[in-house]
Amino acid sequence: MLRLCYNQYINLYEVSLVNKRKKIAMITALAETTHVIRVMKGVTAQCEKYGYDVLQFAMSVSPDFYVKPYAAGERRIYEIINSSKLDGVIIDTISLMYGNNSEIVDSIYDTIVSKSDIPAVCIGIPYRDIPVSESNNDEMLRALVRHAAEEHGCKDICVLTGMKGNHEAEHRLEVIVKAVESYGLSVSEEHKVYGDFWYKSGEELARDIVSGKVKKPDCLIASSDHMALGLIEELTKLGKNVPEYMTVLGFEATAEAALADIPLTSIESGFAKCAAQAVDMLRRTIDPDLPVIPYEDDSDKSLHKGASCGCVPDTRGTLEVIKSKLYYTERNYTADVFEDNIDIGLMMENYIPEQLTSSEDPSACIKNIYSSSYIISPYVNFFLCLRQDWLDTDADLDNGAPDKTDIVLARSHIGGVDFGDPSQKITFDTSDMIPELYNEHDKPYIYYFTPVHFSDKTLGYAVLQRKLSDYPKFNLVYRNWIRFVNNALEMARTKNRFVMLSVRDNMTGLYNRRGMYKMLDTLTKGFSEKTDLLVSVVDMDGLKYINDTFGHNAGDAGIKTVSDAVLAVSQSGDVCARTGGDEFCIISRANASSADITAFADSFCQKLSSLSKKTGKPFPISASIGCAAGTVGCIDDFETLLSLADENMYRFKIMRKKHRS
């Protein structure tokens, strides 16, 4: 397989920014849930027809996730969306608006939609002036009523919907009530119950019915499976049997509905068609001269019967759900399994968390992430993109997206750029989101943008590139693998901090003496061969006088100024160290002559004099420097060179004192 080196990739990226393939952003949350998978079914189907790339930006938890710092870290994935690089935006308001809270959608509108001319469409729930693709659930909801009335003879029907005032909740209630009325029946006000689309409201209604607070109906139709399941579970606890006590129907046909102790009769939502229509709405704007191709759904297969209404459960559908959710421990993992979908059992039984968190250093961590990325198959490309300051434990990692981001890992299944060594990192403008977007492809792809963070500390993001036809394979494996990656990176950050504290001087950031010898070994390649070195020893003048006269803070400022001068005259690859209170050392690979040594010493003194004047301190900041050059082949050679540089420094200091006197 062809493997592009990273500098070739940069060249391709720089010349391919003219790629004209249309790009549609899908902004949602909880990408592996039933709702989003159905939404993506419609989006990917239409975008594949039209040749559009899809960029999905999603939190992996609910917007109102109870661990608030973690939710804050997840939300920052929306900050990297650059509308100027997109042709259209679809906002899944249903997944992003929890309760009646529009906080996340408000932010998306303010930072993405209102600041550009990019066309945008909402799914299901309208928002401000953004056009909305209305849900196509009316026929599905009517089918639930038809099933209850015609197949089970239910006459007294109770409807449990979502939050009062919520557009989708009110609409579902209205459709169900009208469908009931079409049979000459009615839904009493008592039986129009508002909830929260979640288990809790179903549990509360069950208690109210059993206690007599709410009259018991023949049938309960819930506008979400979770509310229906909550009601069934609570009725069971209270000693009531479903469906003998009451017929219960749900909406959405979730995995939880199929796998419940009493399988729930439910119907699939029409959000695939709704999302497909959202793409078509964008197409009429961005490609007005091109045809719109109708979306073909399979609504005749959408009703899944279960025991909650007395029907014979849909065993085939249940088995498919079980297969997708099963935790295998000894599965035969053949090539076709990897191409189809990895299950969570393989991920857990391979002890990937232990492998990642045991990484000795950041570089090893990245390499281990690279080696474990087979678990997220199938994919076309995978990129791990980190902030350039992700290892800086003192950096402010919650201050928005940085200007520059590094691809520290890339893995390709199509012969693209592929590396697991972070030293090969590719730096790009974060505003480009991911360079791969601008390379020419013979087909459209879907790119999953996922936050990489630890609690509310943003480290970067990951990008998983797949075929559009692979949309159903986005499951819990990827979400949990990214969690392992997050934890491993934070562990690497923590270990790196301890290492830096052991080899770095806290005040100046230069190496300490231990760090100097550690880096010396790297500089000389372990003294495996003769190496030409230039060693310079620097000693600050008058530190005791400054401390005694102006205070230790002033002395610290002087030390920092000398360290700044040391860094200023050093070259990339040099080892700069603070070897004592007022002592410094610079080690360079160089074959230096006497003239070179003199020029270097003069350059240091001039730089320090300039920096001293800029401090505005009431005292001069100066230092003495001594240099020595030679060839070293062992540690003793280096110690000899270091002693000679130290002697030259003291000669310099004595000469300056004589000159001043």
Q: Using DSSP bridges, classify how beta strands 457-467 and 381-387 pair: parallel, antiparallel or unpaired.
A: antiparallel
Q: What are phi and psi of 575, to 5 degrees?
A: -105, 115
Residue 204: the pLDDT is 97
Residue 657: the pLDDT is 78
Residue 19: the pLDDT is 55
- Strand blocks (E) in 129-179: 132-133, 157-161
| Residue 18 banded pLDDT, cuts 50, 70, 90 | very low
| Residue 136 banded pLDDT, cuts 50, 70, 90 | confident
Helix (H, G, I), strand (E, B) or coil at 455: coil
CA–CA separation, 504 and 509 (whole Å): 6
CA–CA separation, 65 and 650 (whole Å): 64
Q: What are phi and psi of 292, to 5 degrees?
A: -100, 125
Give 615-633 pLDDT, tens digit per residue: 989 999 999 999 999 999 9
Question: Is-contact 481 60, C-beta < 8 A?
Answer: no
pLDDT at 531 over 60: yes
Please give the order of strands across the beta sheet that includes 404-412: 132-133, 120-123, 88-91, 23-29, 53-59, 445-454, 457-467, 381-387, 404-412, 426-429
Rounded (10°) CA dihedral 207, 210, 215, 221? 60
Number of separate helices (H) and strands (E) present in the chain: 22, 20
Helix (H, G, I), strand (E, B) or coil at 522: helix
| Mean pLDDT (whole number) for 456-476 | 92
Give 240's DSSP letter: P
Helix (H, G, I), strand (E, B) or coil at 427: strand
| Mean pLDDT (whole number) for 49-71 | 94
- Strand blocks (E) in 32-156: 53-59, 88-91, 120-123, 132-133
Residue 220: the pLDDT is 98
CA 307, distance to chain mean position in Å, is 40
CA–CA separation, 163 and 172 (whole Å): 11
* 3-state secondary structure labels for all residues of 643-657: HHHHHHHHHHHHHHH
Residue 526: the pLDDT is 80
Q: What are phi and psi of 382, to 5 degrees?
A: -135, 135
Give 301-359 pLDDT, tens digit per residue: 688 999 999 998 877 766 666 666 555 445 455 566 556 666 667 777 778 888 898 89
pLDDT at 189 over 70: yes
Report all structural domains of the chain as residue ranges with CATH numbers, in order of start: 6-134+379-479 (3.40.50.2300), 138-269+295-323 (3.40.50.2300), 513-660 (3.30.70.270)
Give 473-507 pLDDT, tens digit per residue: 888 889 999 999 999 999 999 888 887 777 888 89
Mean pLDDT of the chain: 90
How many alpha carbons lie under 13 Å from residue 560 in its C-beta half-sphere? 12
CA–CA separation, 563 and 582 (whole Å): 10
| Residue 394 banded pLDDT, cuts 50, 70, 90 | confident
Contacts of 85 (CB under 8 A, 6+ apart): 23, 431, 432, 433, 437
Higher pLDDT, 522 or 129: 129
